[in-house]
């Protein structure tokens, strides 16, 4: 069985405070069939794809570490927060785990929630996408925005953490749908020439990490991304934590030598969320075994909370049965 129920949340309580002092652990509730609106957290406690890709194992513990970091985040305008538990991969059957994740993402979307998936390796993306494809079968122009040092367009006999967006491309093509994929933070020192060639052939637009270091480069990327958002029907937002500098996010499979500064990553996330088109999001590659002082987990928690607060300003459609 790959499904695991939502864990109990624990954290700090400021018992001597006289004003609002709630933290996430006070307000997160188990996700049920009656949960409506808000954010549904779904853990993807899997690193089978990372191991298949020759990376450092440990990302399966990412959801637990991310919840622990989120537990003490102060409540500052969040929407309803639901925890839908974890999808695991105890048997090494990655494909079943991804399918099960897709089912949970689909269910959350149908109930008007924004699914935010806590990874786990970036093979999470193929599972999240399956849920989006099932829930939004009528969407013609799905824009995929990936903040990542890697394209993750690899060819391989079995899916892994380096193949998810190639798998999505192949699915979209097989179903007669366009592939609109944007990657911000790509490193020329972390992707082979064939991956750049494949990206070009697939019509992928990307920005190098070097282009996103200064305000001018960031402004150019934001302007181009805003144009893409204006033409999209829906957006899938995915963040691989290895897009950040290794000093800000050491707890990943492949820490970045340069990376995109956290402040710039947040500006890009804010722009995407402000579109009101994000239907699902995930945070990938948190590896607590490689983390230093829980820094990467705290960075990931900051990003998840930022997404949740942005979602609070956007009412969502309920497509399932009330």
pLDDT confidence of residue 19: 86
pLDDT confidence of residue 8: 87
Q: Is residue 129 domain-resident?
A: yes
82-94 as b/e: b if 16+ CB within 10 A: bbbbbbbbeeeeb
pLDDT confidence of residue 7: 84
Q: Is residue 17 domain-resident?
A: no
Q: Is residue 14 domain-resident?
A: no
Q: Which phi and psi angles does 223 have, rounded to 5°?
A: -65, -45
User: Could you tell me how far CA 102 lies from the centroid of its own chain?
Assistant: 13
Nearest to 127 by CA among 94, 101, 162: 101
Residue pair 49/125 in contact (Cβ under 8 Å)? The answer is no
Q: Cα–Cα distance between 273 and 244 in angstroms, integer?
A: 19
pLDDT confidence of residue 3: 66
pLDDT confidence of residue 15: 85
Q: Is residue 13 domain-resident?
A: no
pLDDT confidence of residue 270: 97
Residue 308 is inside which H or E element, if any?
helix 295-311
pLDDT confidence of residue 322: 45
Q: Which CATH number does the domain housing residue 157 bear? A: 3.40.800.10
Q: Is residue 10 domain-resident?
A: no
The dihedral over CA atoms of 277, 235, 64, 20, expressed in degrees to the nearest 10, equals: -20
pLDDT confidence of residue 274: 97
CA distances from 94 to 120, 171, 233 (A): 12, 17, 30
pTM, to two decimals? 0.95
Q: Is residue 319 domain-resident?
A: no
pLDDT confidence of residue 16: 80
Beta-sheet strands, E only, within 249-313: 278-284
pLDDT confidence of residue 319: 72
Q: Domain of residue 29: give its range.
A: 25-311
Q: Which residues of the chain have a pLDDT value below 50?
A: 1, 321-322
pLDDT confidence of residue 269: 98
pLDDT confidence of residue 314: 75
Q: Cα–Cα distance between 248 and 116 in angstroms, integer?
A: 22
Query: What pLDDT digit, counting tens, does each position of 231-251 carry?
Result: 999 999 999 999 999 999 999
Q: Is residue 46 domain-resident?
A: yes
pLDDT confidence of residue 1: 41
Domain count, the chain: 1
Q: Is residue 283 domain-resident?
A: yes
Residue pair 238/125 in contact (Cβ under 8 Å)? The answer is yes
CA distances from 108 to 5, 132, 317 (A): 15, 10, 11
Query: What pLDDT digit, counting tens, does each position of 254-312 carry?
Result: 999 999 999 999 999 999 999 999 999 999 999 999 999 999 999 999 999 999 999 99
For the chain, the C-alpha Rg in angstroms (whole number) is 18
């Amino acid at each position: 069985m790959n499904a695991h129920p939502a864990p109990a949340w624990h954290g700090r309580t400021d018992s001597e405070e006289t004003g609002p002092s709630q933290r996430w652990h006070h307000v997160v509730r188990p996700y049920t069939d009656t949960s409506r609106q808000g954010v549904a957290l779904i853990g993807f406690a899997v690193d089978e794809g990372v191991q298949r890709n020759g990376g450092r194992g440990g990302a399966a513990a990412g959801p637990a570490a991310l919840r622990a970091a989120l537990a003490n985040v102060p409540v500052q305008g969040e929407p309803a927060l639901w925890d839908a538990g974890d999808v695991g991969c105890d048997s090494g059957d990655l494909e079943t785990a991804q399918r099960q994740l897709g089912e949970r993402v689909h269910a959350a979307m149908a109930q008007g929630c924004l699914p935010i998936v806590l990874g786990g390796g970036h093979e999470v993306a193929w599972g999240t996408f399956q849920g989006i494809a099932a829930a939004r079968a009528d969407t013609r122009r799905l824009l995929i925005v990936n903040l990542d040092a890697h394209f993750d367009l690899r060819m391989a006999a079995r899916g892994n953490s380096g193949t998810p967006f190639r798998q999505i491309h192949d699915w979209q093509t097989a179903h007669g749908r366009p592939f609109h994929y944007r990657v911000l933070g790509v490193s020329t020192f972390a992707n082979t020439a064939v991956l750049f060639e494949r990206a070009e052939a697939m019509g992928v637009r990307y920005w190098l990490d070097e282009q996103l270091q200064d305000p001018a480069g960031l402004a150019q990327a934001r302007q181009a991304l805003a144009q893409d958002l204006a033409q999209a029907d829906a957006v899938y937002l995915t963040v691989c934590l290895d897009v950040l500098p290794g000093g800000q996010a050491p707890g990943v499979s492949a820490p970045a030598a340069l990376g995109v500064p956290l402040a710039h990553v947040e500006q890009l996330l804010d722009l995407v969320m402000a579109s009101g088109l994000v239907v699902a999001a995930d945070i990938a590659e948190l590896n607590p075994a490689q983390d230093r002082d829980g820094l990467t987990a705290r960075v990931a928690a900051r990003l998840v909370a930022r997404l949740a607060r942005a979602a609070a300003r956007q009412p969502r459609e309920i497509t399932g049965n009330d």
